[in-house]
Amino acid sequence: MTKVFEAADATNLMTELRRSFDSGVTRGTEWRVSQLKKLLIICDNHEPEIVAALHHDLAKPELESSVYEVALLRNSINLALKQLKVWMAPDKAKTSLTTFPASAEIVSEPLGIVLVISAWNYPFLLSIDPVIGAISAGNAVVLKPSELAPASSSLLAKLMEQYLDPSAVRVVEGAVTETTLLLEQKWDKIFYTGSSKIGRIIMTAAAKHLTPVVLELGGKSPVVVDSNTNLKVTAKRIIAGKWGCNNGQACISPDYILTTKDYAPKLIDAMKHELETFYGKNAMESKDMSRIVNSNHFDRLSKMLEEKEVSDKIVCGGQKDRENLKIAPTILLDVPLDSLMMSEEIFGPLLPILTVKDLEDSFDVIRSRPKPLAAYLFTQNEKLKERFAMTISAGGIVVNDIAVHLALPTLPFGGVGESGMGSYHGKFSFDAFSHKKAVLYKSFMGDSAIRYAPYSRGKLRL
Ligand code: NAD
């Protein structure tokens, strides 16, 4: 039986990691590189176990696991290994007459001991990717994976314990009790991925110690579809971005579509056609789609679907199988704006389409709601693309595709407003776990009398 994690364990953990961080071991390039290489070994040597754990937790298709969890991590680690010295090098800063003669630089300093709390939907990616940033930046780190993906959580704990330096990198498994004990400690940064509701608990706990946070939250990410689009590609990409990414259980999954009344039937027909091409006549039997994570989430989604004035808006799908935790890809047309489905993040295989009179009205619908983590537009209209990108506030915007911005490490990944704060990926991960320290080297020269008392107007004329 695994030992229960208690308050004393949390304080002991902090003492051990603090000792290790204070020894300076994690600051060295050598240590950072060695730990990153160990993470790479985990990806390279243990992919079959990772795929199996993801299948156990979510029935995630092998290809999705290999590409969206393992390959993305491999890219992230390789980029960190390649760029580490560049990222670590101080940036020269300009000086001015006021400080002359002097030189100045911005030094990226590790923050100390950081906590990464992760979610269940991409349990490897969302756990290891922030850890890559924490290690690259020279921190000691504790990872708390999600208890809702138990096979992944225990594999993460096993592999990280086997490969990484236990004096500075640790995994604590558990749920609310364990996370609460961890949150009582004084961290130098907390990086949290999960819902906005729990994000508030994390931020409240962090505030007690003035600990900075990165909150990678969720929200309702809209997709605007213009009639001037490539319909076939649009339908395929929406489907791949919704049901092909963990069956809609992804933070940047399309949550709802906005299109015009005239165009909706064409879009629905095209999506039905492509859904059948992707998943066959009975999508419930497809092996190419993850299942719902657990019965609580199944019931939450069922409640949304069964609500009055919603269930009769289904235009495709709607089948459910609680025993096997499956819900068919389901498209709905014009569900009420005050329904559960339009009030909460769906985070599952349901996709409502809302119709607007004029496509421009869709901008107002998006603006009237909390800022989403992602916003998508499909169009061939250049002016519309620009207007969307410049006037819609979201964590990220993609035109003519879904979710692909996540795979580009030159772009920051993070939310705005209720979808989160802070960002990561590539150099942004390194920066998220670094303090940008201002360092100014002053010469003894240029010691102007004006700065010293006794002050006098006369000195100004010197
Ligand atoms: P969640 O908020 O339920 O749980 C996330 C983590 O918080 C888990 O590790 C869990 O153990 C911990 N936790 C849960 N309750 C807690 C409590 N009371 N006190 C302290 N810790 C607690 O989120 P989830 O269901 O795992 O993930 C789904 C949500 O996460 C969705 O909203 C989704 O959009 C969002 N998400 C965001 C991103 C992103 O990168 N922005 C990625 C994945 C998921």
The number of C-alpha atoms within 13 Å of 363 and in the hemisphere containing its C-beta is 14
Flag whether pLDDT at 149 surpasses 60. Answer: yes
- pLDDT (0 to 100) of residue 148: 98
- pLDDT (0 to 100) of residue 144: 98
What is the distance in A from the centroid of ligand 1 to the CA of 116?
11
Instruction: Please give the span between the terminal C-alpha atoms of the chain, in angstroms, as a whole number.
Output: 79
Flag whether pLDDT at 311 surpasses 80. Answer: yes
Q: What is the pLDDT of residues 135-147, one digit of tens each?
A: 999 999 999 999 9
Q: Which residues are the active-site residues?
A: 216, 251
Mean pLDDT of 181-207: 98
Mutate to test the pocket of ligand 1, among 193, 290, 418 (most ligand atoms within 8 A of CB): 193
pLDDT band at 421 (very low <50, low <70, confident <90, very high): very high
Mutate to test the pocket of ligand 1, among 5, 60, 121 (most ligand atoms within 8 A of CB): 121
Least confident span in 279-288, 329-338, 421-430, 448-457: 448-457
What is the distance in A from the centroid of ligand 1 to the CA of 246?
16
Q: CA 213: distance to chain centroid?
A: 13
Flag whether pLDDT at 1 surpasses 60. Answer: no
* Measured distance CA(241)–CA(221) in Å, rounded: 12
Question: Measuring CA to CA, which residue among 224, 52, 245 is closest to residue 151?
Answer: 52
pTM of this structure: 0.97
Please provide the average confidence, as pLDDT, over all residues in the chain: 97
Mean pLDDT of 435-440: 98
- pLDDT (0 to 100) of residue 235: 98
Higher pLDDT, 345 or 457: 345
pLDDT band at 171 (very low <50, low <70, confident <90, very high): very high
Q: How many angstroms separate the Cα of 231 from the Cα of each of 110, 377, 390, 401? A: 48, 13, 24, 12
pLDDT cut 70: percent of the chain above it? 99
* Measured distance CA(252)–CA(246) in Å, rounded: 11
- Nearest-CA residue for ligand 1 atom 15 is 176
Q: What is the pLDDT of residues 269-299, one digit of tens each?
A: 999 999 999 999 999 999 999 999 999 999 9
- pLDDT (0 to 100) of residue 446: 83
Flag whether pLDDT at 2 surpasses 80. Answer: no
- pLDDT (0 to 100) of residue 221: 98
* Structure tokens given for 44: 């390279």
ipTM: 0.97
- Nearest-CA residue for ligand 1 atom 41 is 216
- Nearest-CA residue for ligand 1 atom 10 is 146
Beta strands in 210-309 (DSSP E): 213-216, 221-225, 254-260
Mutate to test the pocket of ligand 1, among 198, 214, 249, 251 (most ligand atoms within 8 A of CB): 198
Query: Residue 52: is it exposed, middle or buried by C-beta count within 10 angstroms (0-12/13-18/19+)?
Result: middle
What is the distance in A from the centroid of ligand 1 to the CA of 421?
15
C-alpha torsion sign, points 295, 297, 300, 305: negative
Rounded to a whole number of angstroms, the CA Rg of the chain reads 25
- pLDDT (0 to 100) of residue 318: 97
The answer to whether 58 touches 293, Cβ cutoff 8 Å, is yes
What is the distance in A from the centroid of ligand 1 to the CA of 147?
10
Q: What is the pLDDT of residues 52-93, one digit of tens each?
A: 999 999 999 999 999 999 999 999 999 999 999 999 999 999
Flag whether pLDDT at 10 surpasses 70. Answer: yes
Flag whether pLDDT at 343 surpasses 80. Answer: yes
pLDDT band at 448 (very low <50, low <70, confident <90, very high): confident
3-state secondary structure of 151: helix
- pLDDT (0 to 100) of residue 462: 59
* Measured distance CA(36)–CA(58) in Å, rounded: 27
